[in-house]
Structure 1
Amino acid sequence: MEGESEAEEEEDEGLRESLMAESTTEREREIGLID
């Protein structure tokens, strides 16, 4: 059971990171840093 929760935590972390990366890119696009 412990292994399962660990895998889930890693998955959540990956989703959080990708969401943060997306929002950062959108913000930069709005500011005009990215074409």
Structure 2
Amino acid sequence: MSATDKTPFYITTAITYPNGVPHIGHAYEYIAT
């Protein structure tokens, strides 16, 4: 298997909405990553 045969994959993260009220979803994002 050569390097060109590999399936690409992506690493993503959520972008915290700066004007929103902090909630448990924000804490989970920081803990999980």
Query: TM-score, normalising length from structure 2?
Result: 0.25
Highest CA radius of gyration, 1 or 2? 2
Higher helix share: 1
Q: Higher RCO, 1 or 2 (CA under 8 Å, sep at least 6)?
A: 2
